[in-house]
Amino acid sequence: MIIAVAFIFVLILARFFYVQVVLGEKLRMLALPQWTREVPVIASRGKIVDTNGVVLADNKTSYSVFVRPNAVSDKQATSDTLADIFSLDAAALCEKLVAAGVSELTLVRHVGKELVEELEKHDLPGVYYARDNTRVYPYGSTLSRVLGFTAVDNTGLTGIEKYYEKYLAGENGEIAYPTDLVGVEIDGVATYRAATDGLNVKLTVDYGIQAAAEAVMQEVYEEYSPKTAQCVVLDPNTFDVLAMAEYPGYDLNDVPRDDPDLLNELSRNNLISDIYEPGSTFKIVTAAANIEEYLQGNSAAFSLEYIFNSSRTRTVDGTTVKCWSNHANGKHSHQTLAEALNNSCNPCFTDIALALGTETFYDYLDLFNFGKATGIDFSGEAQGMLIPESAVRACDLARIGFGQTVAVTALQLACAGAAAVNGGYYYQPRLVREIYSDDGKIQESIPVVLKNRTVSEEASRILASLLEGVVKDGSGSHAYIEGYRVGGKTGTAQKFENGAIAQGKYVSSFLGFFPANDPQYLALVIVDEPQGAYYGSVVAAPAAQKIFQSIIALKDIQPYE
């Protein structure tokens, strides 16, 4: 019996030790909500700023109000008072207060100080408030499809707000007041856990260039009534995104949350997430491949002096490729590569693609990263569409050569264009430069990443010179700026719907850069289904010119001698 009693006593002691020591901290944390009232200390969400520190997303102080039904002494009177202050339904609120099993209600979020001051006058038991933050965007619709927006609880839902949520969010703290079992506050010592504010995100975007691009896209939209007018501006030497503009946009301070379809349409970043057939802007890639192969001694490639067949058509696998021009009166005859670019003559680029052959041409498509994501720091990037090399036919290859039978994102094409004229360097594009704290310390830098080489520096230099000729003497003349060396290529692509050409529907575009001898800025303008005029040379090239002129004025870039 003594041994049995001793054994039981040891078991009881062991149990006491396990509960009080081993499980002690865990059980105290589980019990904490039962004998405390926690008032949240809301962390301040990090700011989003442009590359120069211009604040694009910020916070303003607001308040959230909470109710503990068990601590409310007069539920009907409390409901009436709260409904009067915050414009709520008193009957519905009272039903929630009397409902069983509800320990706490969030009454309202993001209310102003004046309403909280009115609440304080009534000193309602079981009702308390905490400081909160309301997300604000000082420039309204600026960069709306890139910045994104937050939920009611300030969690990032789209765009940069979502992608960099783990940095921006911070961690909430709390103040715990002692209460009795029903939640009524009693005397005792409150405990405080401080909030950790979120970190700030610095973009590569330049607000001045962004504002200029958005203004031009609005002008294009108002003049040609397209579905959308879009533009992406890159630094060709790093692939930093300097601007991403799309019109129409929406005011980030007045998000249309009650219309999901409209919100999805307006908040979608089409420059990253949607694909289209690029048309003649793709000829930049075809020309780059040909020049590099010629320099490498490939006898199938065409020299810069080669004169292409002046026929308006090419027939491949029973499919006829036509030039947009009728070639009457000697037009497009005796064309070199430079003149084929100037005239945007489809048959010449069909000749190049077929001469290089599927294997070689697809090697270049891979180097220019078509058919795969660029890796930009943004959710929802599309990969484009490229026929598998094993399945491509000669007629497909012929059309890919001038930008049909291939689909790309605007960002993919802009990056490919930059890699073709910057010396042949393909970088991973980025929207964010660094993450930093309020004291200015950099917590994380997003590096510039070189992914691969596309063509040699000599081939790139030759191509840039040829594209300068397109602006000076060819189809891109509406992008010409006196005193500045602008290069580029126009595009006018017919749209396909349900496997057939959609009559009267076009995508007009222009990919341009300057200075042509040392590219510092590259812009791709895309206008989807413009009404009236539809040629890229008429619709998109002038828009790019205006954007470049704005950059010249903003950065005080002097003309060349």
Indicate whether 22 belongs to any domain: no
Q: What is the extent of the structural domain holding 445?
A: 207-555
Same structural domain, 220 and 323: yes
Same structural domain, 253 and 305: yes
- pLDDT the model gives residue 42: 80
Same structural domain, 249 and 161: no
Indicate whether 100 belongs to any domain: no
H-assigned helices in 274-407: 283-295, 337-343, 346-356, 358-367, 394-400
Same structural domain, 120 and 244: no
Helix/strand/coil (H, E, C) string of 137-155? CCCCCCCHHHHCCECCCCC
Q: Cα 351 to the chain's mean position, in Å? A: 37
Same structural domain, 127 and 249: no
Same structural domain, 127 and 226: no
Q: What is the CATH number of the domain that holds 86?
A: 3.90.1310.10
Indicate whether 537 belongs to any domain: yes
- What is the arrangement of strands in the sheet containing 36-41, beginning at the earlier edge strand? 36-41, 173-178, 191-193
Residue the block writes with tokens 């692939």 = 239
Q: How far apart are CA 484 and CA 482, in angstroms?
A: 6
Indicate whether 2 belongs to any domain: no
Same structural domain, 281 and 146: no
HSE, CB side, 13 Å, CA atoms: give it for residue 277. Answer: 23
Q: What is the CATH number of the domain that holds 531?
A: 3.40.710.10
Same structural domain, 435 and 503: yes
HSE, CB side, 13 Å, CA atoms: give it for residue 39. Answer: 18
Indicate whether 355 belongs to any domain: yes
Q: Active site residue: 280, 460, 475, 508, which one?
A: 280
In the predicted model, residues of the chain with pLDDT beneath 50 are none
- pLDDT the model gives residue 193: 77
**Nearest partner of 507 among 343, 282, 347, 276, judged by Cα:** 276
Q: How far apart are CA 529 and CA 221, in angstroms?
A: 10
DSSP character at residue 19: I
Indicate whether 388 belongs to any domain: yes
Tell me the chain's radius of gyration from C-alpha atoms: 32
**Nearest partner of 111 among 88, 94, 81, judged by Cα:** 88
- pLDDT the model gives residue 252: 95
* Active-site residue flag, 280: yes
Conformation bin of residue 143: beta by default, left when phi > 0, alpha when psi is -120 to 50: left
Q: Which of 175, 194, 217 is the last residue of a domain?
A: 175
Indicate whether 183 belongs to any domain: no
Q: Which of 127, 160, 175 is the last residue of a domain?
A: 175
- pLDDT the model gives residue 190: 62
Q: Check: CB of residue 375 under 8 Å from CB of residue 428.
A: yes
Q: Cα 451 to the chain's mean position, in Å? A: 20
DSSP strands (E only) in 269-325: 313-316, 319-322
**Nearest partner of 192 among 175, 205, 206, 179, judged by Cα:** 175
Same structural domain, 377 and 516: yes
> Tens digits of per-residue pLDDT, 55-102?
999 999 888 898 888 788 888 999 899 999 999 998 888 888 887 667
Same structural domain, 162 and 244: no
Question: Per the structure block, which two tokens stand in for 265?
Answer: 């349409």
Q: Which of 130, 157, 175 is the last residue of a domain?
A: 175
Same structural domain, 377 and 306: yes
What pTM does this model have?
0.87
**Nearest partner of 491 among 281, 285, 284, judged by Cα:** 281
Say how many domains are in the chain. Answer: 2
Same structural domain, 117 and 253: no
> Tens digits of per-residue pLDDT, 348-390?
999 999 999 999 999 999 999 999 999 999 999 999 999 999 9
Indicate whether 271 belongs to any domain: yes
